[in-house]
Every structure is written in structure tokens, then in C-alpha cells.
Amino acid sequence: MSISCESEIQSPRVLAQSQQLKHGRFKHPEAALFGACHPNHLKVDRTQPLHHPRCFRGPQQASHSARFPKETTAIVTIDLGIQHLPSTDPTVAIDLIRQAIRTKLGPHHHVRSSFIDSSGYRNIIFTLYWKDVSTYREWEATLPADWWYGGLSPASDIGIFKELYTVPITDTEITFALPNPEGYSVIAESMSGETDTHEYWGSARDRIPRSQTDNIEPDGWPSLKDDVFSSDPHGKLVSVEPHKNLCLVRSGQVWENSTPAEIKSYSTEIKPTLDSGMEELIKNSRHFSCFSNRYMRIEDDDGNPIGKKWSIIMWESLERLEKWSLTPKHKEIFGTQINHFNRMEREVRRLI
């Protein structure tokens, strides 16, 4: 079992327009409708406390969550990765994944992205989403077990990996600056109105439905399947079984359709701060119990970069993510983003 968190920073200009003159609409926390990020069918009697401070009077900026129907009990996500040196042609591996995506029972949504890892390999990642487990299983049953790597020679310099997550809907949380879906929110039934469970430490935990009654502690440690290990895994299939309550975070930025002023602010303030934060997290991953951090540019289906970026980060636990969120670097990232939004809002008011 894993928990999944998704967030996006989107179109600051439109965000500022939607927020003008709305500040002060939240009452004191004791009277506010905290937990509004949960749809009614996922609300239960809370036994775990909320984390908002008594002085919290509501977020400065809007936030929206995805809404899935009652019939949706789990989201299936697969990250299929191709690793290759610039001198190696990955076309065959890419075509294998594309063909599988286009089959009748293929994913309800997919995203292509890429990054260069610390060893100099380009990683092309296809992220596949299904809104029900049964359709995913039917799709999987139509393909050979080795479809994603069987076409490659063991002597090839191309590496392939597949990460499969079947996450109960009660173990997910989503927050967006605007009701414009990204990631698995694209396959949701709808987007919510503005919610109030954000902009305070612990709000990500509060947005996870299971956190109403569970503290979501990790159980166990990742292990090799069948205890098979080789000092030289080149050309071999290595399978790893994750532990319970692994935490997977997908967080991104969208600057498509932004004004020149917004793009300049993003490029000169948000991006440098975020880049240095992601680099620090990658370099000190063991210290923070961060298993992996892929900081990637999103692409179209032909591999051309578009105005979106996201990181896919795997943590030992939600608690480890929360501890990192208290570090000076994360506070700097968060503060830079809030300052950006507030400045864009003031600019909109000035123009009006």
C-alpha cells in the first residue's frame, strides 16, 4: 500500500483574478469547514487531530481538489522509464511503450516527461493512469509478461524500469491552485470548488482521507523479490517489493498561457529556488529518507518540451516528507511561491 500526493502551481495571473477582494472570507478555524477537501462519501468520524494552528484564518490563495465517483476505489499508476546515453537510440523501447498505450484497454491518461540523471543518462518516463483496477488488469492480461523489456538485448546499453502503484482512493490527496487538472486528476469526474485545507504545516496529511483515523506510519522496508541480488545487474531483471505506506509525491508547475511578467517572475525567482531545492534533495536523499527524486520537463507525445514541469519523489513515509518540508530550503521554496502569487495579485488589482 502506498499513499499518493499531487499538487500543481498554475497560471498565477488567472489565480490572482479569482482571488481579488476575497481575503477575510474565512472564519476562525474552530468555525471553519476544515476537511472540505474530502468528498462526503469519504468523510468519517475523525479520531486523528487536524494540524492547523489556532491562529490560522484560512489560506491566502485558492486550492482545488479532484473528485472521483464513489465507484472509484483505487487509482493505478505505472511509471515506465527508459534510460539511455545520448549516443544510444531509444526508439525501439519508446515504440514498445507507445504501442501498449494505444491498445484498446490502455491507460485513461498518460504523461511523457524526461530528465538527465546524475550518471548522465537521459531518462524518458511514461506515466500511465487507470481509474479502475479491473481495466488495468484486463490491459495487462492482453500483453506478454515481458512486453516492456523483452524486445531489448541483454547486452544493450539501454535500461528499462517499471514502477507500479495501486493506491486506494482513501490514500490520495490532491491540491491545485486552479481547477485545471493535471496528472491523475485528468481522469477524475470533476474538480472541487475552493477548499481551505492548505497553507499550513500538516495540511497534506489532513487532505488524505485515511488520515482521519490513521497516522499512516511506514511498515517494513523495500525488499528484493525472491531475494535475488547480483553485484552486476546489467542485462538482468531485478524486482523490488515496496513496504507499506511508502509516500509518492508528484508536484509540478504550469506556465503555459502566462503573461511575460509571470514567466519572468517564474524564471528568475521560483525556478532557481526550486532547482536548488531539488538538487539539494537529490544530493542528500539518504539523509532525508528520499528513495528517488525525478525532476522532469513534461513533453508532448513526440518528445518536444512544453510549458510544464514536475517532480516525482518517493519517500520512506509521509512523516519523512513532512520533516523535509520544515527545512530552510523548502520554506524558501514555499515563501518564494507565495510572494509570487501575492505580487501577481497586486498587479492585477493595479490594472483594474
Cell 491552485, residue located: 177
Q: Which three cell numbers stand for residue 92?
A: 525501439
Give CA–CA dist 223/230, Å, rounded. Answer: 14
Specify the pLDDT at position 62.
Answer: 78
Contact 114/124 with Cβ under 8 angstroms? yes
Specify the pLDDT at position 349.
Answer: 55
Give CA–CA dist 188/168, Å, rounded. Answer: 14
Q: Which three cell numbers stand for residue 119?
A: 550518471
Q: Which residues pair with 110 in a beta bridge?
A: 128
Q: Which three cell numbers stand for residue 181?
A: 487538472
Q: What are the φ and ψ backbone dihedral angles of 224, each rounded to 5 degrees? A: -75, 135
Q: For CA atoms 190, 194, 196, 202, give the dihedral sign.
A: positive
Model's pTM, two decimal places? 0.88
pLDDT in tens, the chain (352 residues): 566 666 554 433 332 222 222 233 333 333 344 446 889 999 999 999 999 888 888 787 778 899 999 999 999 999 999 999 999 999 999 999 999 999 999 999 999 999 999 999 999 999 999 999 999 999 999 999 999 998 888 888 899 999 999 999 999 999 988 888 999 999 999 998 888 888 888 999 999 999 999 999 999 999 988 656 667 777 888 899 999 999 999 999 998 888 888 888 889 999 999 999 999 999 999 999 999 999 999 999 999 999 999 999 999 999 999 999 999 999 999 889 888 877 877 765 555 4
